[in-house]
Amino acid sequence: MSTSFTEAFKFYKRKCPFPELSGVVDPRDEKLREWLETRSVQTQPQNSSDFGLVPPETWTVHELRNHPGLLIIQNPFTSLGQRYWISRCLRDFPKAPHRTNLQTQKLPEEVHGDFWAFFCKAEEKASQKKLKSCLRWSTLGYHHDWDRKVYSEKEKNPFPEDLQGLTSFLGMILGFSDFRAQAAIVNFYPQGSTLAGHTDHSEVNLEAPLFSISFGQEAIFLIGGPSKDDPATPLRLHSGDVVVMSRESRLCYHAVPKILQGCEASWNAEMVYPEVLKNPLIDQDLWEKCTKGDFWQPFDQYLSDCRINLNIRQVLAGNATTL
């Protein structure tokens, strides 16, 4: 695992021959626990199930020993909790006022207006596959300018309150009680897609952590150092896993060189924890719909070969209200 970030990305990205995965750190594999340090969490009086999470005292949280500040929560979501947030990512977050890469493509007007409704109407697998390849990202709150790598007060919309509540809760449990969610990028990964190595440095506040939540197919997440010449560590992320980049890891290079096919569909697991919500921030109608097979079926089909990553960050410093 002493390979440079650049070389590691090339190695895990390759398709033929398929890369050897024995060097990938899977937090669920006890044989690889030498790379991980178990971290305790703070319990809170607020009901975790209000955001679709299992009780914090049952969470498994690790810190990567050779990348201080890189935290991994092993899927803290209930199966219905996963379904809710997956539905938000696919049904709601590609809609206006949020922005997507679809706006630059020549597609039917219906796709621009409601991507998910159009996807659900597509009956042929070829049509669904094409639509999957079209949607690659959506931005929420402060919209990131991909060309200039900046945020602007002129380019922002209200941040989703339920997502803000979720990340605030995660922050409290992990000791980041001051975290304020102000911008998010939802990345959509059809099978075969990657995310090149980069650092997240556009935010004014570079002390606040980044929260990265994975849903759907598993992926290899590569974390390096401040330079692409630094050694990199590959992590295997499962659906529901939460990665937090804090402290030293906040400005490290990271990437996704490969999506792995054939994961366990944990979003379809038996519902063990109470699923009755009392949270006014949660869309109660959507929550109820996620229990229905006919409503959930197209989401399940999408997840059969795709991954979703929800990356949330704080843009502003301290209690500032504008840039």
The H-or-E segment that residue 322 falls in is none
pLDDT one-digit tens code per residue, 36-77: 988 888 776 666 668 999 999 999 999 999 999 999 999 999
Rounded CA-CA distance 198/253 in Å is 5
pLDDT, mean of residues 120-140: 93
Instruction: Report the C-alpha gap between 121 and 123 in whole angstroms.
Output: 6
Longest dimension (CA), the chain: 52
Mean model confidence pLDDT for the chain: 92
Q: In the prediction, which pLDDT does 181 show?
A: 97
Q: Which has more pLDDT, 44 or 196?
A: 196
Assigned domain for 200 exists: yes
Could you tell me the CATH number of the domain that includes residue 93?
Answer: 2.60.120.590
**48 domain-assigned:** yes
Overall average pLDDT of the 146-153 stretch: 87
Query: Residues marked as binding for Fe cation?
Result: 198, 200, 254
Residue 32 has pLDDT above 90, yes or no: no
**CA nearest neighbour of 64 among 30, 25, 111:** 25
pLDDT digits (tens, 9 = 90+) for 225-283: 999 999 999 999 999 999 999 999 999 999 999 999 878 899 999 876 556 677 899 99
Q: Is 129 exposed, middle or buried (0-12, 13-18, 19+ CB in 10 A)?
A: middle
Looking at the domain assignment, is residue 124 inside a domain?
no
E strands along 136-232, which residues?
A: 137-141, 183-190, 195-198, 210-216, 218-223
Nearest to 173 by CA among 61, 65, 279: 61
pLDDT of residue 103: 87
Average of per-residue pLDDT across 283-303? 95
> Mean pLDDT, to the nearest integer, of 73-82?
96
- The pTM (predicted TM-score) of the whole model is 0.95
93-120 pLDDT tens trace: 999 999 999 988 988 889 999 999 999 9
Report if residue 156 sits inside a domain: yes
Distance CA 181, CA 195 (A): 23
Task: Strand 61-64: give its sheet, edge to edge.
Answer: 36-39, 61-64, 70-73, 242-245, 210-216, 306-313, 183-190, 137-141, 99-100
Residues 170-194, mean pLDDT to the nearest whole number = 96
For residue 272, tell me if it sits in a domain: yes
| Chain centre to alpha carbon of residue 142 | 17
Compute the distance between CA of residue 111 and CA of residue 130 in angstroms, rounded to an integer: 12
> Residues at the annotated binding site?
198, 200, 254
pLDDT band with cut points at 50, 70 and 90 for residue 217? very high
In the chain, beta strands by DSSP E:
36-39, 61-64, 70-73, 99-100, 137-141, 183-190, 195-198, 210-216, 218-223, 233-237, 242-245, 254-260, 306-313
> Which pLDDT band holds residue 171 (cuts at 50, 70, 90)?
very high
pLDDT for residue 33 is more than 90: no
- Tell me which of 120-129, 178-187, 235-244 is least confident: 120-129
Tell me the pLDDT band of 307, cut-offs 50, 70 and 90: very high
In a domain, 119, yes or no: no
- Give 94's contacts (C-beta < 8 A, 6+ positions apart): 100, 102, 115, 116, 135, 138, 186
For residues 143-149, average pLDDT: 85
- Count structural domains, the chain: 1
Q: Does residue 28 lie within any of the structural domains?
A: yes
Instruction: Tell me the backbone φ, ψ of residue 181, rounded to 5 degrees.
Output: -75, 120
Asked if residue 125 belongs to a domain, the reply is no
Domain residues for the domain of 19 are 5-101+136-313
